[in-house]
Amino acid sequence: MKKRLIQSLVVGGSLAMLLFVGGARTAAENPHEISRQTPQSGCGECHNTAADIKDDGILTTKNHTVDLAAFAKDGVAMCSSCHNPNQGHKVGLNIDFPVPADLPLNEEHDMTCLTCHYTHGRLDSDRPQASHSFMDKLMNAERLKKSFLLRRNNSDGELCLTCHNVN
């Protein structure tokens, strides 16, 4: 029991250090939130077409159908140009079962980052969007206020269970 407590404290402390050293982005530094930028400010790195920014000045793609032709890169290369491709869920898996339309696959029916994540929107959330542990509540409370740009809420694993159904 004592050994498990010590291991938990070491792991929790390490995760807390990563949080502080990693330097989480503030909303003003969020490259996914297109509101104060013009369509010419770097959109061409990922897109072939200009963004349709609405009257409120904020671009969100949460409930939009994914148009793969609008992207200059595929749904993995685009994301991994900024994000570490070895963190998170494995991508490139060929999916041989039907998935809901709001979880798009690429032309080869492979899972990409865009299957579970949308590309533009706010990073903050008023409620947990991803699963979290007791240690997150103690050591990483900010995780509870992030959207992770998930297409569906996953605080209780609902998004994961779409494909990883235990039945």
Q: Percentage of the chain surpassing pLDDT 70?
A: 53
Residues 53/59, Cβ–Cβ less than 8 Å: yes
Tell me the three-class secondary structure of 116-164, residue by residue.
Answer: HECCCCCCECCCCCCCCCHHHHHHCHHHHHECCCECCCCCCCHHHHHHC
Whole-angstrom distance, CA of residue 34 vs CA of residue 122: 9
Type of residue found at 115: T
**Model confidence at 95: pLDDT above 90:** yes
How far lies 88's CA from each of 102, 103, 126, 148, in Å? 20, 17, 23, 11
Per residue in 109-158, pLDDT (tens digit) is 999 988 988 887 777 777 666 666 666 666 766 666 677 888 888 888 88
Whole-angstrom distance, CA of residue 25 vs CA of residue 27: 7
**Model confidence at 26: pLDDT above 70:** no
Q: In this structure, what DSSP letter does residue 27 have?
A: G
Summary mean pLDDT of the chain = 71
Per residue in 50-82, pLDDT (tens digit) is 666 665 566 666 666 777 777 888 888 888 888
Residues 151/62, Cβ–Cβ less than 8 Å: yes
Whole-angstrom distance, CA of residue 103 vs CA of residue 80: 19
Q: State the average pLDDT over residues 73-95.
A: 84
